[in-house]
Structure 1
Amino acid sequence: MKGFGFYKSKKYLQRVLSSIMLSMVIVLLASSFANTYLLENSVKRIQEDSNLKILTQMQYNFSYMNEIITHLSYFVFKDNLLIPLMYDESLPKMDLIRSYQRMSSILESSSFLHSMVVYNYSQNEIYGTTSNFLLDGGVTKKKISDWLLDPSVSHETSRLIPVSLDREDGEIDAFAFVVTNSLKPFTRNESAIILYIKSDWVFDSLKKMNDTGSRSQGDILMSDQGGRLYSSRKLDEYASKSTQERIHSYIEAHKLATSEPSGFVIGNFEHQKSMITYMADPIPNWTILYVQSYDKLMAVVTQTRTKSLIVSGAMLLIAIGISLWLSYKLYHPIEDMLQRIRFQHPREGNTRQTEDDELHAMSEEYSKLSHTLHEISSEHIVNKYYIRKFMTDGQMFSHHDMISLIKKHRLNIAYPAEILVCVLRLDHFQSYASHTALPLKKMHSFAITNIAQEMMSQLHPCETVEVWGDHVVLIVSLNETGVTDSYQEIRPVLQDIQNTIEAFYGLSLSCGISDRISQLTQLSAGYTQAYQNSLYSVIFGYKSIISSEQVQVNNANKRVSIPETIERKLAESLKKGMMTEAGVELEKAFSLFATYHYHDIQRAVTNLAWVIQYTVAEIMENRVTKMSFNVDYIHHIPQEKETLEEMYVSLLALCTQICDGQKPSNVERNDMILETVKELIHQKFADFNLSQQSIASTVKLSSAYLGRLFKDSYQCTITEYMNEVRLQHAQFLLENGDHAVLDIMEKCGYTNPSYFFRLFKGKFGSTPKEYRMKKSIS
């Protein structure tokens, strides 16, 4: 009861418990019904496949029977001894006797024949062979005649038709097979032979299949076109006409819906649900049926469903126990939190209980804490606002105002202690700004600000604030005035801050330190000085810590450009391709840049880039081939690189490419000459006057030099190459035209037939005529 009271008093716990229990109940029930549904479908599919296999075997047996009967009917109808019996108007006694003897021999040779009847239209007479037909005073003859010649009934030919010959109750005891001279339905205006097949022979397959298993497995039946059912034994449950019509309607509807000759349907008749598997036309106009009780068939499924519900019930009881345990485990942290809240903020006895559940109490406490945090956050924003104002617009405040604001907002700035301003600036800021998402930038800013303040506050009072997004400012209050080694004291702390930020966030920070400030109103000037010092990381490199003493020479330097002698010598070295001299001049230039003021460094490097570009442009004007690098990239170097070392390396690599391009171009010149010679030969091979001397005259070179150059490059003479081109063209004309051989010789630039024939045979192994004849044959 105590446990029940605990759960009853916890509204949120009740919701958790009920949700878990309901989910488990739904899952278990759904799983149980899904399993039984899948099992039922699986049993139906398996049963259908099994039934269709049985019916397929029976279809094969019936088809074989029908084929035997059809062959026999064809043989009988063409029998010369029976033809007179069918067609003669007057039949001699000997012919009649021979015909009867023939019918008797046919009956004796065919064990499945019950009897045989011949109808003679000319005589309007029926002849039969059985003893009943001959000795019962015409009763059997009249029955056959009434059935056969009934004008209201149309008998299909070459089809098994159920009839009753000997039985008086109307049940079939034979199948009639009518054979005429045409395939149209039989009429009394034509002669015919009627073969009566024993019903046992047709139903033998049904009987064997029905007798192989118990009655609970189902019944195998046959159905004619009208839906009447037949079996090897009398089955009262299928005897009524309404039952037969209902089964027939089920099958016809399924055939119409599926357009398949076989399948299975489930229906109700005689107050029983049954599964009917059917296969149409094993014998023309007949259908085989396999009827099974659905309840007996699904007995295993019903048992399985019952067992599944029992198991689900047991599992449900287990699930309730698990739900109680799991809900308490999930609720336990909430209970602990509630106890802590009540311990910290005990409610008064007269306080009105307004909460809906346990979470409402925490919601109230959260609202109070949120309000408190909002007040703290607002105060923090105001503090950072005034710190930024002190640094950027310090002239707006008097000394007295600044002291009042520091006291009012409890800023961690000591006075009258001396102050140092440190600026931590992000290296590679352009790349960082373009590739970093805004939420990550805010997180980095928050981390740098807090880590820097926490680490520096261990040594000196410190305030930090982010400015412009690319740097963080530290206002460090020195503990003692007159300390001369304050830079050396805080430098290790700044290095630790840099290493920590790089280790955790992969960010590199350069630091600038201002001079010591004794007046609060000088904070703005100290910030400007520290920021300017941080920019000199272009000289000292990434993660440098720079004070005013280190850049004193740079700030005092008034030079804004490099001497003209360095520019001139650098240009001359590049034009001559002398990389060593160009590297020396480039190193001199960057040595001077390291002494410039920050604002002049960028300008000087840009001017040097222009000098290199002008030199490259001048070189390219006098070259035949273009250089393989992009000249416009030179201007991006001062903007993309943030340190002098990176700029120097990039420009040095560029100068190396320029000097490599200035190497002697004899190889290029020779290649151009040889390509020109080959082009001339391909264009003018039909010219009789084309020769090595004429080509040398065209390219303005001596014949001997040109011949030696060509032979060294291609291991053949110009004349040999010329003959090669001419003979290839001659080969093409022989294969693709009907020109005379002498015309082809002239078109290829030859004037001497014997010379042309000798060259052609030397290359192709046959004369031009033989070559053409061989190609035309092949």
Structure 2
Amino acid sequence: MNILPMYKSRKYLFRLLLSISVVTVIFLTVSSSLLYYTSENKMLQMQQQADLKVLSQIKYNIDNLNETVKNITVSTYMDPDVVYLLNTSVMDKGELAQKLNRLEKTVSGSMFLQSITIYNANTKCYYSTQSSIKCSDDGMNGLLSSYIKSHKEIPRLKFIPISGEQAKSPVFSMFIYEELTDSKLIVTLKPSWLFDNISNLNHVDSEQQGAIFVTDKSGTPLLETTMSTPIPLDEYREVIRNRAEAGVDQDYLIHESSGDKFILSFTSSSQSDWIIASVQPYHVVLGKLHEMRKISLMIISVVLILSIAVSFLIAYRLYRPIENMLQQMFGKRLRGVEKRSDLDELKLITNEYQDAMHKLVKLEKEEYSQRDQLKTFALRRLISDASLLTPQEIQQIQWDIDLHHKLRLCVLLIDDLENFERQSSDSDKRLYKFAIANITKEILARDLHCEIVPMQNDHFVLLLGEAHEGSSMHLDNLKGILQELQQTINAYYRISLSISIGDETKEYSQLSRQYGQVLENASYRIIYGKSCIITSDLVERNKENNGHFQFPADVEKKISESIKSGQSHKFREQLEALFHQLESLHYNNIMYSVFHLLAILNQAVGDMNNRSVRQVNLDFKYQYQQLLKQESLQAMFNMFSDIFEEIHHQRSQDFKMQSNQILIDTIKEMIEEQYEDVNLSLQSIATAMKLSSAHVSKQFRQQESMSISEYINEVRLRNALTLLENKDYSISRIMEMVGYSNESYFFKLFKKKFGTTPKEYRFKKVIEE
């Protein structure tokens, strides 16, 4: 009893078994369906060809018979004896008997003629090869006489079915006559010659329980047939008649009647206007195929049972490695694992593997993280003050450099630090710093051993050591490698780096002192700009020029005068000369000079404002903050040029334009603050400002290219849109909050502005969310 639960727990085994079995079932089902469908179509095509061949042969016989009888009729009509019998007014009995004997020889000489009858319109008598001497006897029990009397117009040289109450089937006669005399020659066929053939075909086809029948285009039956299976021939004659009227001469179709399907084939004769048709029960035609389908289903069932058994063997053989793996992974725990009905074996193995890998990665990550954190902490202590680390602590760290050989310290600074801080999130900054450190180690490790550590002040310290004994950290070679590093970082991350290179040292205890020197050298990026590589030789002259610096008095005077006089070329000339001089100064003197220059501009602007009605408004506190953020003398030069241009622009601006701008700004502020007031308008604004409404309207339109009322609507609609997006107030409430009292007017303005009504806009927002 424990076998079934054990196998139920093996979900993957059952999945294998089910997959193979389902594929087998689908394949057998599809293939057998295709086979049956193809066989059915093929059998119907074969039946169609056979039916059409039979019908075509019958049609040929009828057409051939029609042509033969027509020739006999025409030649007999031209015979002198027949001409005499047709036209004589007084009939001699002797001659009549003689001439009828000759016609009897013609009838007996043909296997398909039954009789030849002559109707003499002059004597009103019938002369037939089968009649008695009586004048009124037409030789066919009055069928011809009745037909002639009941039809004013009789088709000539065409088979005409003539039937009577006592006749089991119609006879077929062909008439030829002239309209002037109205005398007629009538040739009658033996219907048995044609229809016995069709009856024989029906008898042969009795196994199929079908029938071949003949009808004319009007649907009148020409041959009645008795069949073992009841077939609605009247209905099929109607179908054939409709198809014939539609101009179809030959067709093959499947028709359903009273829940039974029949195969109907027909073809028409153009000479006799007859339609020969064949009808057979659908199920009888496809009976053999149905028997074959039953046999196929039996065979498929047997094959299916065998395939499932084989599938079980294959699935179990495929499953055996998984079972062995489960046994190895879980061992004695396997019995408990089997009870977990929510997972199959592969998922269970995958989860177990993922858990193991997760634990392993976690352990490795913790190990690496602790080791990296320990190394980072040790590097920072080594760089800040080498005396903080004991020799034992140094030996505990797995260094990528040998601290007892030549060392060189470099500082990597991120250019445009303000933009970098503003445009990058904390996670992005950590990612960038991690990438910069990895790329640096990858590029430098090809020639040198190195350690890199990010410092708290957003720069990196790069510690270089010899890769092997005799390797060189020559400055020229190092510059080439560091330039490649700058290009790589810029190409991948659009981050520019400036690098300061320190001198070689043989003792790691000197690294902290060298770190301070390299940082000081890095400050001279202000002279050499972004992506520079700074060495001690490059800034040696600047560092020596560290004496007391006095800002040139003549330069200060000329700059102040050029600002007050608005002489742009003179200001730029003095500024260029000053900044050229700054390039040779110590960093401290450079910074002193640029801040002193900013103070000169501030004082000059103050003097101008004290003596002039036109005020120059500059926020020098903001300018001071911006000056601190500049990383190069060129950027500072551009900043001072912009300040001068702003001062000159404000001074040169027309007073009237300033006054108008003040007016416009004041009107905008009033509208922004009072747009909720329903009574806010041009008149209320002009009244509040003690100006005429015409003047206020004119100035506002000239400046803003719109009227005050249009601007009021702009502000109100903008605030209405914000309320619709962020608040759950009703439309009416929002309309009142933005200063409208007429709902239709508000809807009209809103739709004109945004292309939709407030309700539609809110509904669209709700759907999008």
TM-score, normalised relative to structure 2: 0.46
